[in-house]
Structure 1
Amino acid sequence: MEKKIMKNKFYHILSIIMAFSLSLSAQQDEYKPDPQSVLQLIRNEKIKHVLPLAMRNNNVDMWIHVTRAGDPDPLEYEFGSTSGYLIFTDLGDRIEKAVFAGYFGGEGGIENIDITASVELRRAITGYDYGKQNISVYNEITEYVSSRDPKTIAVNYSDWIAVSDGISHTQFEKLEKILGPKYSNRIVSAENVITEFRTRRVLREIVV
């Protein structure tokens, strides 16, 4: 009798274990992480953990990344769909994120932006008379850069790395006008920052 009871208990426990295993397996099969959510996590983790190193290792105080609608950005994977000026500033304890853009991010975009453009500037960037505007419409950017007073400003141009050369000639000329002579003279290529930022991996990228 005792052996029969023990045998019944054994089969009962075994059936529970099998049922739990099947349930867990089914849950794992059903779990499919949203690609955009994963990409958003990767983007935010890279900006938080990798970007400070990339900027400091290359003695860059500010990185201005310029994009334009209709012109594919080589760093769209890293930042999302953008039209305007992304500015990253090293404040010492963190990287400040300012976005002066007509549109930015979209699904899976970067979170926790510190400073954004006014409605007027967003309209100016997305307007059809983009090339005819008075440069004073960009004073928000001029004043922002001046208030941070960076000693080195990296910009996305390069004569040998295509992915670091996203800015057009006309965009570069406009940026120089926005910054003025003082800060235009502090511009350097962002090629080293971009290379380090893209090649360094966060754990989530490796796992995914």
Structure 2
Amino acid sequence: MSETEQADPQVPPLLSLRQRAEWIDANLEERLETIIPQIMREQGIDMWLLMAREYFEEPVIATMLDAKSMAARRRTILIFHDPGEGREIERLTVSRYGMADLFAPSWEPEKQPDQWQAVADIIAAREPDTIAINYSDLKAFGDGMTLSQYRLMTAALPEKYRDRIVSGETLAIRWLESRSTRELEMYPLVVRTAHAIIAEAFSRKVITPGVTTAEDVEWWYRERVSNLGLKVWFHPSVGIQRQGEDEMLRGDTVIQPGDLLWTDFGITYLRINTDTQHLAYVLKPDETDAPAGLRQGLANTNAVTDILRSHLKTDLTGNEILAAARKEAIAKGYDPSIYSHPIGFHGHGAGTAIGFWDNQDGDPRSEYRLFPDTAWSIELTTYADVLEWGDQRVDFRTEENALFDGEQVHFLDGRQTELALIPSD
């Protein structure tokens, strides 16, 4: 990890497809052996049931498939059982197909054709006091149980076990938000890859002022990522702020000298995601640097970023962090909007959000508390009147990926502290 971003980062060597599969499976095994016991005992859950149908994977099961399993097969049912007294967590699969030796096969269709009865028999044999299934009114990541599967499962269960069913919402979030040691070791390299691609995009390799459009750069991103054998998890964005224009310009607008460029870009590599926003300035022919007002705008945003970082504390809610950070930033004269979020298996990941761009006053989704060893997109903006642009109000957005270790927020591959400069000739 590094607090300083390289000025001209290069795409690091990427793993082959076979190496990626080996890494994914090793990481999954580590997660199952370490995170599952931790979160089940933390939440006081004896048994956790997960169910998905082919091509309709729920968010948690999608992250538990081995590297050769592209989707759930027919109906995939996974069961975690804590027998207590510190004994090893059982990992069972009640499915027709195996799960790369990560789960013990626990159904013989030839002897018991009814898959739901097989689940009921496993439950009865273990007598769990609590049975978690994924349903939630608030969190999409914890709402993977479908109505049809719930009906079929409970129809096969004796009534006494139905009364022991509880929500697995927090288990689902804890599984998804917790980062393994392998992920923490690899994440800086994944972010470095994204930073290097952005550095290429914001250069004369890609942008010819007076010719290239914002949309051209967006599609260059898509081609570049595809050629690297990677994926984007959202279509890249490129916007233009221009003196005399009130709104962000996009699409077929041609990039010109004097423009402030913004990009929002994220890749998926080894099942983990990045999410980055950077700024660049297109130099006019007689310029060697961006106007002072634009440079100060980025500095303001970084100052608010540091304020926000200082308020991330274990067990605080996202709403508490948002309120404290905004209060301090505003008191210091900044005009902020904060909308940071967890990142990991999903770009907008499981966990508590710290603000939303359209809600700076607190949100029910942000009453969840902050946990250590979680990865973050530290995302926000500040607004400032730029003297050189006739006191035009300019939006200085930033987004960098970081780790919260329980005490501090560490950038995974530094952050942008200087505007990228693109020569016009």
Q: Give the structure-2-normalised TM-score.
A: 0.36
Q: Which residue of 2 aligns with 1:181?
A: 159
Offset of 1:119 from its aligned partner?
3.2
User: For 1:35-91, what per-residue CA distance to the aligned partner results, in whole angstroms no more than 9, with x for missing partners?
Assistant: 111111111111100111111111100000011123132124421132331100012
SS in 2 for 1:201: coil
Contact 2:116–2:152 under 8 Å retained in 1: no
Q: 2:93 aligns with which of 95, 99, 106?
A: 99
Q: Which residue of 2 aligns with 1:127?
A: none
User: For 1:140-189, what per-residue CA distance to the aligned partner results, in whole angstroms no more than 9, with x for missing partners?
Assistant: 22111111100000001111111111121111111111222111110011
Aligned-partner residue type, residue 102 of structure 1: R
Relative to structure 1, the CA distance from residue 104 to residue 137 in structure 2 (aligned partners, 3 Å threshold; closer, same or farther) is: closer
Contact 1:102–1:121 under 8 Å retained in 2: no
Q: 2:38 aligns with which of 34, 38, 53?
A: 53
Distance 1:158 1:121 in 2: 35
Distance 1:31 1:70 in 2: 27
1:88 equivalenced with 2:80 (yes/no): yes
Q: Which residue of 2 aligns with 1:67?
A: 52
SS in 2 for 1:34: helix
Offset of 1:112 from its aligned partner?
3.9
Distance 2:161 2:25 in 1: 32
SS in 1 for 2:63: helix
Give the alignment of 1:153-168 within 5 angstroms: 153-168=131-146
Q: Which residue of 1 aligns with 2:122?
A: 144
Contact 2:81–2:90 under 8 Å retained in 1: yes
Runs of 5+ unmatched residues, structure 1: 1-27, 125-135
Contact 2:79–2:92 under 8 Å retained in 1: yes
Contact 1:121–1:137 under 8 Å retained in 2: no
RMSD: 2.4
Contact 2:48–2:80 under 8 Å retained in 1: yes
Segment of structure 1 superposing worse, 48-57 or 171-180? 171-180
Aligned-partner residue type, residue 42 of structure 1: N
1:44 equivalenced with 2:24 (yes/no): no
Aligned-partner residue type, residue 96 of structure 2: G
Q: Which residue of 1 aligns with 2:103?
A: 113
1:79 equivalenced with 2:64 (yes/no): yes
Aligned-partner residue type, residue 91 of structure 2: K
Aligned-partner residue type, residue 49 of structure 2: I
- Identity of aligned pairs, percent? 25
Aligned-partner residue type, residue 182 of structure 2: R
SS in 2 for 1:158: coil
Find runs of 4+ consecutive structure 1 residues off by over 4 angstroms.
28-33
Contact 2:51–2:61 under 8 Å retained in 1: no
Contact 1:98–1:114 under 8 Å retained in 2: yes
Q: Which has the higher contact order (CA 8 A, sep 6+)?
A: 1
Contact 2:107–2:115 under 8 Å retained in 1: no
Contact 2:50–2:61 under 8 Å retained in 1: no
SS in 2 for 1:70: coil
Offset of 1:31 from its aligned partner?
6.7
SS in 1 for 2:155: helix
Q: Give the structure-1-normalised TM-score.
A: 0.71
SS in 2 for 1:66: strand
Contact 2:136–2:142 under 8 Å retained in 1: yes
Runs of 5+ unmatched residues, structure 2: 1-11, 66-70, 187-425
Segment of structure 1 superposing worse, 85-94 or 111-120? 111-120
Aligned-partner residue type, residue 194 of structure 1: A
SS in 2 for 1:85: strand
Relative to structure 1, the CA distance from residue 191 to residue 121 in structure 2 (aligned partners, 3 Å threshold; closer, same or farther) is: farther
Offset of 1:114 from its aligned partner?
2.8
